[in-house]
Amino acid sequence: MKLTMEREALLKGVSRTLGVVDRRGTMPILSHFLFTAQFPDQVAIAATDLEVSFRGIWPARVEEPGALTLPAHQFHNLIKELPGTELELAATDTTRLVVSVGESRYQFVGLPAEQFPPVPEIPDQPLVPVDSRLLREMIDKTLFSVSTDDLQYHLSGIFWERVDGPEGLSLRLVSTDGHRLTMIERPLPQSEQFHIEEGILIPRKGVAEISRLLAEEEQVGLGLSKKSLALKADHKYLFIRLLEKKFPDYRRIIPESFAYRFTLNRQMLHDVIRRISLLSTERFRGVIFHLGRHTLEATFQNPEVGEGRELMPLTLEQGDPAGLPLTIGFNARYLLEPLSAMSGDTVILEINDKDRPCRLMSQDDPNYFGIIMPMSL
């Protein structure tokens, strides 16, 4: 193998593998990326952890083709610091690559390309074009409530589902960690070609890599096989192995009605909770709401740090005033994360009682909301 390549192009290619490679696994090859020089003018860079796979094509001047694998993070860290705009790369055998620029010369020890696991191929059916901004918005607004508990494997991803509503076909994304649930729905007419009637479960790591790819492109193509989701954007390909565990019946978690509905200023509510939560610790995270007809009193007590109290206006839109004030406790983070993701000036907080799930949503966007379980007082 022998080639010359723009440093920035090589850096971009290798950086796309960093979120994919497995640094802590038992297979050393999975911490490497596959580097393949192809005649006459391109290199292919691929990475996989057997669950998430990436492959991309970048321009280069190839004198001799070849392939080998290289340690992704160490290689990236060096390329990022090297001077010059062009790099010379030459393999001395099937495992060693020499990188040269000016008077600088580095040699990397990799592994043979034959040991690298196969990267999936794009499915045979046509890809469904999707606006990157729309899909990235949906992911960013649901990713925070995916479970990080390894024992809750069935909750460790975002559930994608195609739904037929009053405005036509839509794509719905749902995530939950057992304490809260987040759901967003957006019109997607092309989803009739995207056969996910039963729904698919995309793992957390795969969803994060999808979001990274979407940030770089205006449009992507989606394809689905029996066991994986594929995305194509220009000369970049991302493959996500679907989780085979069954996602819970989220519809049973969403209350059909609420006894009380309050409207509040979104930014003010966010700021009040954020300030009070500055006193929280690992043991004490709960913020207490005392909801009246015209005022929300938010309080927090932490015997290790101190206590806080703030007042802000609210409006009772629905419910019997005789049942107020209503006292209910929340994990502050479960409120802050959806409030940060929402837009609009006004949010709606719907409650039945202090022990049942509540709903928080923007007044301007009823198709995006969070269901939050209160904390025991």
Which tokens hold the place of 256?
A: 């059909």
Question: What pLDDT does 191 receive?
Answer: 61
Name the nearest CA neighbour of 242 among 124, 157, 117.
157
Chain-centre distance of CA 156, in angstroms? 11
Instruction: Categorize the per-residue pLDDT at 192 as very low, low, confident or very high, splitting at 50, 70 and 90.
Output: low
Question: What pLDDT does 198 receive?
Answer: 82
Please say if the pLDDT value at position 280 is more than 80: no
Please say if the pLDDT value at position 79 is more than 70: yes
SS3 state of residue 77: helix
Q: For residue 187, is the peptide bond before it cis, meaning its omega torsion is within 30 degrees of 0? A: no
- Planar angle of CA 105, 24, 78, nearest 5 degrees: 20
Q: What is the pLDDT of residues 132-163, one digit of tens each?
A: 999 999 999 999 999 998 788 889 999 999 88
Alpha-carbon distance 263 to 261, whole Å?
A: 7
257, with CB counted inside 10 A (0-12, 13-18, 19+), is: exposed
Residues 6+ apart with CB under 8 A from 123: 223, 224, 225, 230
Comparing 68-82, 167-181, 194-208, 356-370, the range with the smallest average pLDDT is: 194-208
Alpha-carbon distance 172 to 196, whole Å?
A: 11
Question: What pLDDT does 194 receive?
Answer: 72
Q: What is the pLDDT of residues 329-353, one digit of tens each?
A: 999 999 999 999 999 999 999 999 9
Name the nearest CA neighbour of 349 among 223, 241, 262, 289.
262
The one-letter amino acid at 267:
Q
Instruction: Categorize the per-residue pLDDT at 285 as very low, low, confident or very high, splitting at 50, 70 and 90.
Output: confident
Please say if the pLDDT value at position 326 is more than 90: yes
84 dihedral zone (left: phi>0; alpha: psi -120 to 50; beta): left
- Planar angle of CA 341, 347, 348, nearest 5 degrees: 125
Q: What is the pLDDT of residues 298-315, one digit of tens each?
A: 998 877 788 889 999 999
Alpha-carbon distance 232 to 15, whole Å?
A: 18
Question: What pLDDT does 377 receive?
Answer: 63
3-state helix, strand, coil in the chain (%, to 5): 25, 45, 35
Quick one: what percent of the chain has pLDDT higher than 70? 97
Alpha-carbon distance 334 to 270, whole Å?
A: 11
Q: Which residue has the higher pLDDT, 188 or 355?
A: 355
Model pTM score: 0.91
